Structure 1
């Protein structure tokens, strides 16, 4: 495993890249023996520094939960990161493209918990019972590590490439809609670029919530009531640039739009 000094140094590199909206060389190119545990340690140092600076944690993102995303990245293992309050946008928002690096959009569902959720044997039924409601979401990817050749270690270290999320207006309890069949039709500047259904995320999008609760148990933690859990994309990421207008139709769950300025 990496030394605590190296972990702290890499966390500072990523913090500086976040501040300057720049990209650093792959961690695994410089430290080929770095492990997944090292990566979460780097993310943890970065997270704690942000909390100490006054940012407020509102939830967690899960990534790489669908075949579409695994094939797009070449990474076959889910991961997770943290989401702060200043990264949440409402549908219709103007989003400053300069705040991010390697900017892409993913189509997801988010879940808000009404009760805490803990492993080690959390099931899909347990997750559904803990969820207050589902809401459609778009994730803005923000990659501070060069993309070519990156591994799960690089991605986790970089807060699982999370930048921001845009939330829709329609809330549905898990018993009100078959979440597996919620569609996503993603358009850029009026042209459809990606489509998918939420079942592409581990067979049911809430399965990721159960996975995260079990993963947290390994670190002696659990998910709290009120947290937002971004469950993972069921489309490939779509690149966006300044001036792009993004729209996604979630069928019975409504629509989301945003513009990059």
Structure 2
């Protein structure tokens, strides 16, 4: 993609979010788009939001192998950005009109006490990652993609590149109030029971995230270092989903019970 293509795609995504509307797959408009192009579009959208006085709250890991990614044609995780205006309090309400037809995923949130930067060639250990974490807590991620899942005219589905460009479709995050040390809990066995209006919809384990959620943190730190970036102290990182997305229509309450890690909930007005 040319620089003009990238900036036009970014403008289309920014306008779609402002208007509360969806656009067709960018991969249809730009068949040559690859992951590098998708991240360039994501970066251009991020720049536009920073100019609009938003602040980076942290980072997210997505497109986990085995969690629906095979159907999308990919086998590598992705990274995305979390902004300060995405944050909702647990037990809070998403106002009417804030999102369109959202889905919700249950994730483990890592809150950092120290910066985490790998070398460009890798070289960061699991122990170094754990040392940099202040605490973990339960989290929900609200998905409201700006790109349609399927183009109505051609039937073409969005691809991993579309999802990356669209910042994984993230529209909000909810953090639980229970804080735990990552050293005192086996993250592979952290479970999430996700219910909508009191009815269980999905269950999952931390092991579904690369067999160890901290492995995702290692991957993210190494991937960011390749682009000269790092995870900073105070930032939040979402692990990737433990469950398949659960729909959150208007008037519904989504609750996730993480057992010893606590719970987290959100209501859609």
1:225-244 matched pairs, under 5 angstroms: 225-244=233-252
**Cα 1:132–1:66, aligned 2, differ >3 Å: closer, same or farther?**
farther
Task: Give runs of aligned pairs for residues 125-204 of structure 1, distance below 5 A.
Answer: 125-148=127-150, 149-204=157-212
Question: Do 2:129 and 2:217's aligned partners in 1 also have CA atoms closer than 8 Å?
Answer: yes
- Structure 2, unaligned stretches of length 5 or more? 151-156
Contact 2:63 2:160 survives alignment (8 Å): no
Say which SS state the counterpart of residue 232 (structure 1) adopts. Answer: strand
State the alpha-carbon separation in 2 of the partners of residues 73 and 21 from structure 1: 25
Q: Give 1:220 deviation, angstroms.
A: 1.4
Normalised by the length of structure 2, the TM-score is 0.93
Q: Post-superposition shift, 1:224?
A: 1.1
- Whether 1:249 and 2:257 are equivalent positions in the alignment is yes
SS in structure 1 of the partner of residue 13 of structure 2? helix
Distance across 2 between alignment mates of 1:257 and 1:58: 20
**Deviation (angstroms), 1:140:** 0.3
Residues of 1 paired with 2:138 and 2:69: CA distance?
A: 21
1:258 partner SS? strand
Length, aligned pairs only: 260
Q: With structure 1 as the length reference, what TM-score do the two structures score?
A: 0.95
Residue by residue over 1:101-120, the C-alpha shift from the partner in whole angstroms, topping out at 9 and shown as x without a partner, is: 44100010010111111222
Alpha-carbon offset, residue 235 of structure 1: 0.4
User: Residues 13 and 155 from structure 1, CA distance in 2 versus in 1: closer, same or farther, beyond 3 angstroms?
Assistant: same
Cα root mean square deviation, aligned: 1.4
Where in structure 1 are there 5+ consecutive unaligned residues?
none
